[in-house]
Amino acid sequence: MNKFFSVTVLASVSLFAFSSPAKDSDSKRKLFRYDFADFGVGTVENEKGPTGVTVFTFSETSVAAVDIRGGAAAVRESSSLDELSTWPMGDAIVLAGGSTYGLEAASGVMSRLLEVRGKKTDFMNIPQVPAAIVYDFRNRKDAAVYPDKELGRKGYDAVKTNQVWVGQAGAGRNVTVGKYFGSAFGEVSGQGAAFIEKNGVKIFALTVLNAVGNILDLKGNIIAGNRDPKTGNRRLIADQLLEKSKTPSVEEKGNTTISIVITNVKMSHADIRRIGVMTHTAMGRVIDPFQTPGDGDTLFSVSTQTLERPKDTDIGDLGTMAARAMQLAVQSAIESSR
């Protein structure tokens, strides 16, 4: 392993070194380990749905931003992360299934924070808990089940450092990709993660992948989505539209990819927002099409503010590395769900 540059990810890229993820008894999820203790993350599921929640917790020194690109986004408390906010940070960030009903899970995290803080209600103890959701009501055992306040509380209590379940776990418990021409063409997806470290700079990326588009590897090959149920062949969606061999399905609605990228480098709110924009834009290389009218694509970017930015590393460098981490996290969501 190059002692200056390592990548931990559940995708196969020969240039880098990898961890060996622990397998759960359920082979469709794996425990992903990394070395970045500045934040915590917890995943919980309700198998009655099935559906789930992924909860991130941060210190009060963290700075956060949000980039909303999809045409059907549902986000809670995004104003807290706006450039005009006096305190652009999040005590916790919640990713959940259940469509807009799932935003209730953030209230459960709020109530646990109230208890953890000794029920203090002075201004600076009121938590900020932004959240985003995916539509995961397809292929449900019980369509009415969604991540509620209680599941949010359990998600907070499940928070640990340096590990997270990926695959069909947390908010990625019941998601699919490549459904542009209907659910029959879709394939199972999940929650994916990747980690990069270089000269003390740490970048963690996680995505809940419920895209209407196909998933591509870094060479442009389709690894999931738009799989013909009769032949098993996968094709680029644009090719079939241009050939007029297929038309979009009415089922195209109800898709979303929600993501988070975290670094330890100290920076301004404008800079962490720029890293989020670069990362979100780069996801379009591995999700095709991306940010459609039927997607609610949202990405949170966070700096834990614990490392001075190295003199030989600028914001563009950090954004480029974060973008690569997220592209690998997208691949991880597919590979760890199979």
Please give the positions annotated as active site. Answer: 256
| 15 vs 125: CA distance, rounded Å | 45
| Beta bridge mates, 209 | 257
Helix axes 105-116, 149-157, angle to 10 degrees: 50
What is the secondary structure of 266-317 as a DSSP string? ---HHHHHHHHHHHHHHGGGTEES-S-TTB--EEEEEEEEEEPPPTT--HHH
| Beta bridge mates, 178 | none
Q: What angle do CA 79, 110, 45 make, to 5 degrees?
A: 105
**CB neighbour class for 44 (10 Å; exposed up to 12, middle 13-18, buried from 19):** buried
User: Tokens at residue 123, please?
Assistant: 């201004």
Asked if 182 contacts 254 with a C-beta cutoff of 8 angstroms, the reply is no
Q: How many CB atoms lie within 10 A of CB 270?
A: 12
